[in-house]
Structure 1
């Protein structure tokens, strides 16, 4: 086991030592900023900028400088990004001047951003804490008096909200009005995909989104929705390709790696899944969900030893989390290591006694160990918690 865990550590080092795609540095920088290590993020991105003269690197280094309170350096980087890709840094500049309580300059840059392809939604701006100091300023009120969003943009926001609150009927009513007035608008088509997904008509959503992307291949929001629709529709290969497209577009979101790893796991591409997870773990060391996914990927490939190494590491790092014990117990269960399975199911049940599936599997493990009386106790607990699969075992082994 120690040897296997050592191999896990080596795999993480290999990720660092090997040549990386540019997006790696963006993801790593983002993760460091989130971890409160803005100085390390700025240093990492400074090194990467030497070989990557792209606006996104300056934008993320600006975020690192902003996080550490170095506003002058952040302003320089946002301006550098503007020179490379027009208006790409305007929203960042608006945030900095808002934090400095310079309402006039903040609104000036925000208006430039709103007239560009990089403009944010009303929700994104209103929930951005950077603008808190401006909320009662006349410049801020004047900014919102202007009509920044088209009718289709306003309607799709309402549709998204209605779906998020479970009010599908209202979402469909808004969509009917939208499609009647703006039948050819791309936002109407996107809204159609949202409705299709909400109705579990995933094939319809995939067709609509694929058509949109054929004409607008750089639409990140649409590509994200397509990947999600492909995944829930049972097309992990298509979803992994969509996640790859997002990663290749330098979208600095490490969660894309885990999403793609989950798809690779379903398509049986275990090594690709493990590679993505190892990279994610470099960004977020000890991540419970990443280690769990790595173990499940290895288990699905029939490599229980490797799976157990990941699950054991998760138990070590998260000893009070019942799910970590269940993951390892399930792996022992699949390999018919009944005693070890029973121990881990027992630990999980100490932490989460309401898990009926764990009671059932613990009972099966104990039954295979010859402990029928203890097994029956577990089967009864599972039954009392609503697990009907326990009735077969109760009738066969526990009713005399």
Structure 2
């Protein structure tokens, strides 16, 4: 009986809710990024066939591509198509391009561009998967046809001009679009882009909220909404929007970090700490994740727990200056001046241009009775542009 129970646990497929599925996809993506596509394939294979939606097949297909098994990747992209029509077409276009089959690649790319999963021209042109076919006649002929509407092209131009800081030109393009295509979702999105760039966050949020009422899981809309919410200081709203993006199945672990930061800014440190733990389950050796976890423990008043994280980071990443700064700051808060001095010194050996580290090292030296050494550090901090050092120089270094 015991053996049967163990066998059931090993082979029993996973049944997932929305958030669990998102985290599974994030873990699979992290495995592929870290050069372990076979682990990602095995992880995704644990999902029940009845529970596997298009996103599971798309994620596993990417893992198969990374492992070089294009045939199985093709099978998974077709499986995704059966569940969500055209969802796998872009992946199929990429695979056939990687195989050098331009004709089949552009066939699937055409199906993609005619679907709800349409990619922007910029995304396609920057995708290295198409490099093997970009000089072939089929590829050149394909791009002689107009695949994008006037409003889509206009929004691409708006995005470009915003990225270069030319807001007036972006506004001029939007003015033309809104005159011809008023109320069109693509045009409205272009207006929201301009409002965010022009610091009119309320107007952008209003537009995006109306767009999302009709297209609730649109990642592009959600990401612009959360950008406007954060910029306007609405971190509670932003944390909810990050949750919506995560729950929609976007396999981006950095969304967890962003949501944790929102909770930190609203003072919900416990929630932030729990989310960072989820991030560390995906990236257990992340210098950023471990550092954030330690800083959150410091904010909760648990300096010993914070030091556990910081010590781990120094051990895993001995050449990263921020690891020493984080631990030095923890020693600084506990008034362990000698230990703080050592860590700030290590960080400055690795990154001598950090003005704040010079100041904090100087304060630590001052509290250790080493006034001359402290004054040297204060002057270094000031020379690097940190004006806060001025008060320490005037108070302790001018005789």
Show the counterpart of 1:363.
362
Relative to structure 1, is the Cα distance of residues 336 and 232 closer, same or farther in structure 2, using a 3 angstrom cutoff? farther
Quote the Cα distance in structure 2 between the aligned partners of 1:215 and 1:84: 22
Q: CA RMSD in A?
A: 1.8
Show the counterpart of 1:226.
225
Instruction: Return the offset for 1:397.
Output: 1.4
Q: Map of 1:44-55 to 2, 5 A cutoff?
A: 44-50=43-49, 52-55=51-54
Instruction: Return the offset for 1:49.
Output: 4.0
Most deviating of 299-308 and 252-261: 299-308
Quote the Cα distance in structure 1 between the aligned partners of 2:341 and 2:244: 43
Quote the Cα distance in structure 1 between the aligned partners of 2:319 and 2:71: 44
Q: Map of 1:1-400 to 2, 5 A cutoff?
A: 21-50=20-49, 52-400=51-399
SS of 1:237's partner is helix
Cα deviation, 1:347-388, whole Å, max 9, x if unaligned, reads 111222222211111111111122212211111222222222
Q: Unaligned regions of 5+ residues in structure 2, if any?
A: 1-15
Quote the Cα distance in structure 2 between the aligned partners of 1:140 and 1:147: 13
Quote the Cα distance in structure 2 between the aligned partners of 1:235 and 1:337: 37
Instruction: Return the offset for 1:238.
Output: 0.8
Contact 1:27 1:252 in 2 (8 A): yes
Instruction: Return the offset for 1:41.
Output: 0.9
Greater relative contact order, per chain length (Cα 8 Å cut-off, separation 6+) = 1
Instruction: Return the offset for 1:39.
Output: 1.1
Contact 2:217 2:245 in 1 (8 A): no
Contact 1:265 1:300 in 2 (8 A): no
Runs of 4+ in 1 over 3 A off after TM superposition: none
Most deviating of 113-122 and 372-381: 372-381
Query: What is the TM-score normalised by the length of structure 1?
Result: 0.91
Contact 1:206 1:229 in 2 (8 A): yes
Quote the Cα distance in structure 2 between the aligned partners of 1:371 and 1:193: 56
Contact 1:25 1:48 in 2 (8 A): no
Q: Unaligned regions of 5+ residues in structure 1, if any?
A: 1-17
SS of 1:388's partner is coil
Quote the Cα distance in structure 2 between the aligned partners of 1:354 and 1:118: 46
Contact 1:261 1:277 in 2 (8 A): yes
Number of equivalenced pairs: 383
Most deviating of 100-109 and 45-54: 45-54
Show the counterpart of 2:9.
none
